[in-house]
Amino acid sequence: MEGLLQFLLAKIILLALASSFVYCYDPSPLQDYCVATNETNGVYVNGEFCKDPKRVTTNDFYTSGLNVPGNTIIGPGARNTVVDVERLPGLNTLGVDIARYDFAPGGLDPPHTHPRGSQIFLVMKGKLFVGFVSSNEYNYTLFTKVLYPGDVFVFPKGLIHFHANIGKTNAVVISAGGSQDPGRIIIGDAVFGSKPLIDPKVLVKAFALDYNKVKYLQAVFS
């Protein structure tokens, strides 16, 4: 009986270790690539059907246009041009993305998070003030930096961060991320502009705000 118990205990430990190995990282793809396609009769990976490998071409891994400035006239004065799977089908399953950010003088990319990937910035032009806030585990610490052309800054996955052009000229950034679709949650839009709206009484208590102020913010963001 004692030998059997020791054997079962050893099996449990091995299973626990195996489970830890399985869940600590994303599994590697089991093919060289899975070029996304609108066809619906192939292998389905990452929410996309894979194009028949025999019909994959060089152009499936190519796109252009990041030399074209984004329109910063509308909104908060910032615009990002994202290269995603729709624009670059060969990006599917590769776990990376790239984008161009354009900022007008005074332009701002408001506080937001990318729940599925980290982000790294390379400043090409201008002067940016950037920062992120750690989680409660690290006391909501704010990390900020003023960036100039050639500077690089990384934003950890899932943490709230922002970017602002504090220079007198337009600013340009090339951004890369650790996911083909890192997602984007703008804090103000999510909290005060959800569909349907969060009960104002919840927000009054959560943020210690006046009821009328909450209603005003919901009207602005929705």
The DSSP secondary-structure symbol of 89 reads: G
Token pair, residue 9, equals 């205990």
Among 171, 164, 178, which residue's Cα sits nearest to residue 114? 178
Respond yes or no on whether the N-terminal peptide bond of residue 156 is cis (omega within 30° of 0). Answer: no
Residue 181: closest CA among 64, 122, 112, 98 = 98
Taking the C-alpha atoms of residue 66 and residue 25, their distance in angstroms, rounded to an integer, is 31
Pairing of strands 44-45, 152-155: unpaired
Report helix angle 211-221 to 200-207, nearest 10: 110
| CA quadruple 81, 82, 88, 91: dihedral, nearest 10 | 160
Name the CA dihedral angle for 70, 72, 75, 79, rounded to a multiple of 10 degrees.
Answer: 30
How far is Cα 26 from Cα 84, in angstroms, rounded to an integer? 19
Question: Residue 163 annotated as binding?
Answer: no
Binding residues: 112, 114, 161
Binding residues for oxalate: 114
**Binding site for Mn(2+): which residues?**
112, 114, 161
